[in-house]
């Protein structure tokens, strides 16, 4: 699959009323944002069953159904976070049991309104336990957890059956990626990666060495690196926005905003937005195929859609690396 350097991420459009919502959204605006992104050259959309407890997939399906066949984008979604419909605010559980996965893929196909999913991904390693917070990389492992080799075989079977075109792993460390590769080729991985959160460098290097695609999520660190975010806005985040209680928007906010501010001179030199520079920095890493960027309104798309055309120089990368170090934001290597 040939994909544009940026893809539309549909977590934020999922709305409120569930554990990891971004606050209230307007569905008509969300559909308009998706269509505007496609009209602007974005040819893939990334979503997940758990986003809005199915609502995001339904919105994506509605948005693409109204497009001519030749203009329809590729659709990527994820399985493995199972929620309790009677308690939407409860943390979803990481479950990749074969029967559960097969139920999930049929539900996603129905909500998206397609006969085949272009990229089907495992959202998190199966621990059999709850995902306590957005970006939860830990979590206890239950004795009932499904072994990776078992759930990755099910994913490979879905590909062989034609239910999905390609299979991927999101939020899986190198040791699990290597174990999966022994069962079936990992077509793509999806780790979090940004100038703030640089901890997935090892996963990206693993993928590069094996011909595996890399689509990274949160390249703007959930809005912090757009150049529009402020301390005042962080303080005003509603209780139903998961970011309100996250360390990136509380204890780490000052350092993160300092880094975002340091990107302004680079953006000015390139005639780009701060957001486009932040995404271009991610795309500059060897092995990164594309970046997932969210938007809740069409106008927000215009702030990042040109990121693929921004080519950062070695001097730019040195300047950004110095800013990362000086700000104290995040962890991981500061330069490709």
Q: Cα–Cα distance between 6 and 90 in angstroms, integer?
A: 32
For the CA atoms of 175, 178, 183, 184, the dihedral, rounded to the nearest 10 degrees, stands at 130
**Residue 256: its H or E element:** helix 253-262
Q: Which of 51, 120, 151, 217 is catalytic?
A: 51
Q: Cα–Cα distance between 334 and 336 in angstroms, integer?
A: 7
Cα torsion angle, 140, 249, 283, 313, sign? negative
Dmax of the chain from CA atoms? Answer: 54
Whether 133 sits among the annotated catalytic residues: the reply is no
Q: Are 132 and 139 in contact (CB under 8 A)?
A: yes
Q: Cα–Cα distance between 138 and 153 in angstroms, integer?
A: 24
Residues 97-116: b if buried by 16+ CB within 10 A, e if exposed: beebbbebbeebbebbebee
Positions marked catalytic: 51
């Amino acid at each position: 699959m040939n994909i544009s350097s940026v893809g539309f991420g549909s977590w934020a459009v999922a709305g409120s009323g569930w554990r990891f919502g971004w606050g209230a959204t307007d569905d008509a605006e969300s559909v308009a944002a998706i269509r505007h992104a496609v009209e602007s050259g974005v040819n893939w959309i990334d979503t997940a069953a758990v986003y809005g407890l199915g609502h995001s997939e339904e919105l994506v399906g509605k948005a693409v159904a109204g497009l001519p066949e030749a203009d329809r984008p590729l659709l990527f979604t994820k399985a493995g976070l199972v929620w309790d419909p009677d308690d939407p605010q409860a943390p979803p559980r990481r479950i990749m049991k074969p029967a559960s996965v097969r139920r999930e893929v049929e539900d996603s196909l129905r909500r998206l309104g397609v006969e085949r999913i272009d990229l089907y991904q495992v959202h998190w390693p199966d621990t059999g336990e709850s995902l306590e917070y957005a970006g939860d990389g830990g979590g206890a492992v239950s004795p009932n957890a499904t072994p990776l080799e078992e759930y990755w075989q099910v994913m490979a079977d879905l590909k062989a059956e034609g239910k999905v075109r390609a299979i991927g792993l999101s939020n899986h460390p190198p040791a699990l990626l290597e174990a999966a590769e022994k069962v079936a080729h990992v077509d793509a991985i999806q780790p979090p990666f940004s100038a703030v959160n640089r901890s997935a460098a090892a996963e990206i290097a693993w993928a590069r060495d094996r011909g595996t695609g890399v689509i990274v999520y949160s390249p703007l660190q959930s809005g912090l690196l757009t150049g529009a975010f402020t301390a005042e806005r962080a303080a005003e985040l509603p209780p139903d926005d998961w970011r309100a209680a996250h360390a990136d928007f509380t204890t780490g906010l000052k350092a993160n905003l300092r880094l975002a501010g340091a990107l302004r001179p680079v953006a000015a030199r390139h005639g780009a937005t701060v957001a486009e520079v932040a995404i271009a920095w991610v795309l500059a890493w060897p092995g990164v195929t594309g970046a997932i960027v969210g938007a809740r309104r069409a106008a927000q798309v215009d702030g990042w859609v040109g990121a693929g055309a921004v080519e950062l120089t070695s001097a730019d990368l040195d300047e950004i690396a110095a800013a990362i170090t000086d700000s104290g934001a995040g962890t991981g290597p500061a330069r490709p």
